[in-house]
Amino acid sequence: MRITMIGHSTLLLEGAETRLITDPYFGTFGHVAYFRLRPPAFKREDLSDIDGVLVSHSHWDHTDRKFLSSLDTSIPVLAPKWTSTVLKLKGARTVVPMTPWQCRAVGAANITAVPATHLARTVGYVIELDGVCAYFAGDTYHRPFMAEIGRRFNIDVAMMPVTTFRIPPTMGERGAVAAARDLHPTTVIPIHLGIQPRSPLLRNSQSVQGFERRLRAAGIETEVVHLREGEHWDSAGESASRAVATG
């Protein structure tokens, strides 16, 4: 499996025969309360040749209206059951409602929706593809259900938020360490790093580096791979590499 960071929580997951996009967001302005730090690595039209979309929740920085409305009706958009109507209003035409622990095959991938807790109705996803088990958390806090995810799946790579703001929409450093302890992933790819509050009062000093320091202090040997826009992680047996994407 190859995982390419497009930006923020938008990633491209590729197997030999299957391509998936998570939480699509290609806007460059941001929002009235947040600005986008860096533009996405690809344009919307560069990613039309995919097999499925995984949406964790319906917030503006995870659901790109122009991208969703441009998709062919043959491309399923997996989303929390409770947000199906919202996703259709945002342009998605083939919405597949998902509830926690429900499974769905998309191409060669087996996808399981898993619990998540956020400020909106949400789920995470476990993606099993080409012998790799990947966990996409979306926006979530650390909660006891993560231990259950860790028991049910042997997770090779976890894509999860590891930073937060003063009004926390996701896990901070401490929560991400607790999640890593429960999930037992071989590798963590931090996500939700593409926007920042416009007001300095809402920012704090938490960072990927702080998360990694806390991991080591807790005796957790999980590898942390911080992908910038356009970079990718490759699985190859027990080894992984990080490089600049070329397509």
Q: Write the pLDDT tens digit of every residue in 165-185.
A: 877 788 989 999 999 999 999
- Give yes or no for residue 237 having a pLDDT over 60: no
CATH code for residues 2-244: 3.60.15.10
Structure tokens at 147: 């231990």
- Please give the Cα distance from 123 to 113 (Å, whole number): 6
Instruction: Summarize pLDDT for 154-165 with one digit per residue, the tens.
Output: 999 999 998 878
> pTM of the full predicted structure?
0.94
DSSP 164-201: --SS-SS--HHHHHHHHHHH--SEEEEE--SEEESSGG
Which amino acid is present at 165?
F
- Residue 51 DSSP class: S
- Computed over every residue of the chain, the mean pLDDT equals 92
Q: How large is the average pLDDT for residues 103-125? A: 95
C-alpha torsion angle, residues 189, 133, 174, 240 (rounded to 10): -40
* Residue-wise pLDDT tens digits, 63-86: 999 999 999 999 999 999 989 899
Strand runs labelled E in 27-179? 34-36, 52-54, 77-80, 95-98, 103-106, 109-114, 124-129, 132-136, 157-161
Given a cut of 70, is residue 243 above it in pLDDT?
no
| Two tokens, residue 243 | 């490089």
Place of tokens 């990947």: 134
Exposure string for 97-110, b = 16+ CB within 10 A, e = fewer: ebebeeebebbebe
Mean pLDDT (whole number) for 48-75: 95
pLDDT of residue 166: 78
Residue 240 has pLDDT above 80, yes or no: no
pLDDT band at 24 (very low <50, low <70, confident <90, very high): very high
Q: Using an 8 Å Cβ cutoff, are 198 and 176 in contact? A: no
